[in-house]
Amino acid sequence: MKRITAVMAAHVDAGKTTLSESLLYNAGALRRTGRVDNGDCFLDTDARERSRGITIFSKQAVMRTEAAEFTLLDTPGHIDFSAETERAFSVADCAILVISGTDGVQPHTETLWELLKRYRVPIFTFVNKMDISQRSKDEILNDLRRLSPVFADFTENRAETAAEYDENCMNALIGTGGVTSQLISQAIMKRHLFPVMFGSALKNIGTAEFLRVLEEFSAEGVRYENFSALVHKISTDPSGARLTHMKILGGELKNRSIIDNSEEKITQIRIYSGAKFTAADIAESGQIVAVTGLTKTFAGQALGEAEENFALTEAPLNYKLITPDGVDAADFYRRIKPLEEEEPSLKLSWNNGAIHASIMGSIQMEVLQSVIAERFGVSVEFGEGEISYRETINAAVEGVGHYEPLRHYAEVHLLLEPLPPGSGVVFARDCRDLDENRQRQILSFLRERQHIGVLTGSPITDVKITLAAGRDQPKHTEGGDFAQAALRAVRQGLASAESVLLEPFYRFKLEIPASSIGHAMTVLQRIGAEFSQPDTVGENSTIKGRCPVSEMQSCSDEIMSCTHGAGKLSTLLEGYFPCHNSEEVIKKIGYDFNADVENSADSVFCSHGAGVLVKWDEVPRKMHIPSVIQKRCESVTQSEVSSYKQRAATDKELMEIFERTYGKIKRPERSAMRRDKPSEQSYK
């Protein structure tokens, strides 16, 4: 039996949770369906969700058909919680995209589409609320095909439909007159087509047939032979136990086992369905489980042979968290910091004596307030939102760190490389001079820390950090020594690089009366927005483009006022791009990385029996291991190797002739294997 993880995704109010109820009912997992309006849905288990009628936290339910075991992951539909949805996509075998038949493709649908494209997730689409929709199937399909031309009506003639989109299906149809389910499944899993079905989840119309399509044409994603898993979420159960939610991608996981040579042991394996769980002794490939006993895991962590598949959408605004009088803010920050494990996009930080949090919007803010009040008994408020900046680098650089006070020793070399926008921070290793445990230890230290840049002290993003070399000393090296060396290496690399300040950009769509187009374009040009030529149909015009969040915030009211209330402005966070006024921002923030002693780029060396601090720009000359980038520059191409061998053969023949004539040449034993030290000029 195949095991499929299907992630439910939709714009808010499209009926995603209702469809989950209907699918579970048709599979026999529920005796009756609940309703969001009544607050009795199987998957809306949190009181905040039931009171608001929206999904806030992703939850799972297990259902079985004759041919498959499905784990449904119901995710939030509100844009404030898109990071929660994105974490679920990282472990998806396929996604169920729910579209409202009354509204079609909505702004958040486009955000979900971009995320699904990023994670290469196969898509099955269910168009809901067709019982009350005034739109035809063709109108909705045309709307979907603005996202991609391969959304395909799968209500009938599926073999012929698949053949229109996939070459293998076409060849089979021409050659044999039919197309197998396996070929159709392969085409869907390769994202050559996205099946579309229609119905009403509330009235259970079309959902049974949609479930049969899922059962027949879905397929398992990447699997490994040995134990492998991907952590997609950290949560806390009502008793306060820390839960690590992971997808098993290969092998099996046994209770009481130790993960990846850590010192922590799994104390319980839970398989959740709704609010309840069953304890298991073994978790098998394809299952999603929650385990207790692990305190150092994090969302996005790859275990075993699995590869990281995780880059979170980041919030564009940063808010100061205001605590009541009598609450020690620094102590309170340490207490609430673990919340970041459950919601990594929060990025809680301590700046200038205050707590700050990155928040997507007002609803997420309200939920955070209620969570803090519930867990810590403190009522907090938030200040005005400020733009949340990020930093990256524009070229590869080597970062080096050394930590050698008395009776301690560690040295680390890291390669820092820029990545495309939206990649986040990625960690890797290409190291031959440290054992496996040391390498994992260093990567763990690096992942646990939020790394900040040197321009404004903002978090870095779109950077790949590769462990390239390191050295320990058996008698003196302790685990914390590598943490010190690795963190200093990151900072030293950032200090050596040419950094770039990034700011968040919106992708916007402005729908206005054609008579207002001139005024609107003048405002957009003044704030530096990039946009295409207006698309005018009849009396209405549409302008699409992108703009810094900071500028759109300040002028959105002006843009709308020029339409006399007849316009519609929708924005989606597109990502982080170079800041349009970086010099002004850097000067205003006034961050001095040299004075940031908690994030030092300097290294500690041993001299005359004591630790000596060496400034970051002098550290490379004092390192004990040669520069990794320098060694790469010294490596020769294959043609150069061949040329060298030819010269060496000629030299050998000449030497033999020389020695036959004048006798054997004797070299001092102590210098026979010595090479002249290359000059600094030879590396240039």
pLDDT in tens, 479-503: 789 999 999 999 999 999 999 999 9
- Of the pLDDT bands very low, low, confident and very high (cuts 50, 70, 90), residue 670 is very low
Residue of higher predicted confidence among 661 and 529:
529
User: Mean pLDDT across the stretch 216-241?
Assistant: 94
Residue 669 in any domain: the answer is no
Percent of the chain at pLDDT exceeding 90: 59
CATH of residue 520's domain is 3.30.70.240
Tokens of 37: 């309006």
How far is it, in rounded angstroms, from Cα 462 to Cα 321? 27
Task: Give me the pLDDT at residue 669, please.
Answer: 37
Task: Give me the pLDDT at residue 129, please.
Answer: 97
Q: Determine which helix (DSSP H) or strand (DSSP E) holds 283, and give its type and residue range.
A: strand 282-284
CATH of residue 357's domain is 3.30.70.870
Are both 247 and 293 inside the same structural domain?
A: yes
- Other C-beta atoms lying within 10 Å of the C-beta of residue 658: 12
Tokens of 333: 């920050």
Q: Where are the beta strands (DSSP E) in 102-204?
A: 123-128, 151-153, 194-198
**pLDDT above 70 for 38:** no
Residue 332 near residue 350 (C-beta atoms within 8 A): no
CATH of residue 153's domain is 3.40.50.300
Task: Give me the pLDDT at residue 345, please.
Answer: 83
Are both 367 and 465 inside the same structural domain?
A: no
**Which residue, of 304, 330, 359, is where some domain finishes?**
304
Residue 367 near residue 260 (C-beta atoms within 8 A): no
Residue of higher predicted confidence among 590 and 83:
590
Tokens of 636: 């020769």
Which of 235, 233, 260, 261 has its CA nearest to residue 246? 233
Tokens of 625: 């291991």
70-107: burial string, b at 16+ Cβ within 10 Å, e else: bbbbbbbbbbbbbbbbbbbbbbbbbbbbbbbbbbbbbe
The domain of 167 spans 2-217
Residue of higher predicted confidence among 47 and 94:
94
**Which residue, of 249, 275, 304, is where some domain finishes?**
304
| Beta-strand pair 463-471/425-429 | parallel
Are both 24 and 104 inside the same structural domain?
A: yes
**pLDDT above 50 for 513:** yes
Task: Give me the pLDDT at residue 308, please.
Answer: 78
Are both 473 and 367 inside the same structural domain?
A: no
Residue 366 in any domain: the answer is yes
Residue 658 in any domain: the answer is no
Mean pLDDT taken over the chain: 87
Residue 125 in any domain: the answer is yes
User: Mean pLDDT across the stretch 131-152?
Assistant: 95
**pLDDT above 50 for 678:** no
Residue 660 in any domain: the answer is no
Are both 68 and 139 inside the same structural domain?
A: yes
Are both 46 and 167 inside the same structural domain?
A: yes
**pLDDT above 90 for 373:** yes
- Of the pLDDT bands very low, low, confident and very high (cuts 50, 70, 90), residue 667 is very low
Q: What is the pLDDT of residues 456-468, one digit of tens each?
A: 999 999 999 999 9
Are both 418 and 378 inside the same structural domain?
A: no
Are both 99 and 211 inside the same structural domain?
A: yes
- Of the pLDDT bands very low, low, confident and very high (cuts 50, 70, 90), residue 349 is confident
Residue 16 near residue 100 (C-beta atoms within 8 A): no
Residue of higher predicted confidence among 648 and 565:
565
Task: Give me the pLDDT at residue 205, please.
Answer: 97
**pLDDT above 60 for 477:** yes
Interacting residues of 520 by C-beta distance below 8 A, sequence separation 6+:
510, 512, 543, 559, 562, 563, 567
Are both 103 and 164 inside the same structural domain?
A: yes
**pLDDT above 70 for 658:** no
Q: How many CA atoms lie within 13 A of 539 on its CB side?
A: 4
CATH of residue 294's domain is 2.40.30.10
Task: Give me the pLDDT at residue 672, please.
Answer: 33
Q: What is the pLDDT of residues 612-629, one digit of tens each?
A: 999 999 999 999 999 887
- Of the pLDDT bands very low, low, confident and very high (cuts 50, 70, 90), residue 527 is confident
Residue 650 in any domain: the answer is no
**pLDDT above 50 for 288:** yes
Are both 205 and 246 inside the same structural domain?
A: no
Are both 146 and 135 inside the same structural domain?
A: yes
8-state DSSP, 637: -
Q: Which amino acid is at 199?
A: G
Are both 512 and 468 inside the same structural domain?
A: no
**Which residue, of 388, 404, 419, is where some domain finishes?**
388
Residue of higher predicted confidence among 101 and 424:
101
Residue with tokens 């939020």: 450
Task: Give me the pLDDT at residue 664, please.
Answer: 55
Task: Give me the pLDDT at residue 49, please.
Answer: 67
Task: Give me the pLDDT at residue 649, please.
Answer: 57
CA dihedral sign, ordered 644, 648, 651, 653 = negative
Tokens of 507: 């992708």
- Of the pLDDT bands very low, low, confident and very high (cuts 50, 70, 90), residue 44 is low
Task: Give me the pLDDT at residue 71, please.
Answer: 97
Residue 69 in any domain: the answer is yes
Residue of higher predicted confidence among 122 and 444:
122
Cα Rg of the chain, angstroms? 29
How far is it, in rounded angstroms, from Cα 524 to Cα 530? 8
Percent of the chain at pLDDT exceeding 70: 89
Residue 364 in any domain: the answer is yes
Task: Give me the pLDDT at residue 633, please.
Answer: 63
Task: Give me the pLDDT at residue 653, please.
Answer: 59
Residue with tokens 């010269």: 647
Lowest-pLDDT range of 97-106, 158-167, 640-649? 640-649
User: Mean pLDDT across the stretch 131-155?
Assistant: 96
Domains in the chain, number: 5
Residue of higher predicted confidence among 49 and 249:
249
**pLDDT above 70 for 666:** no
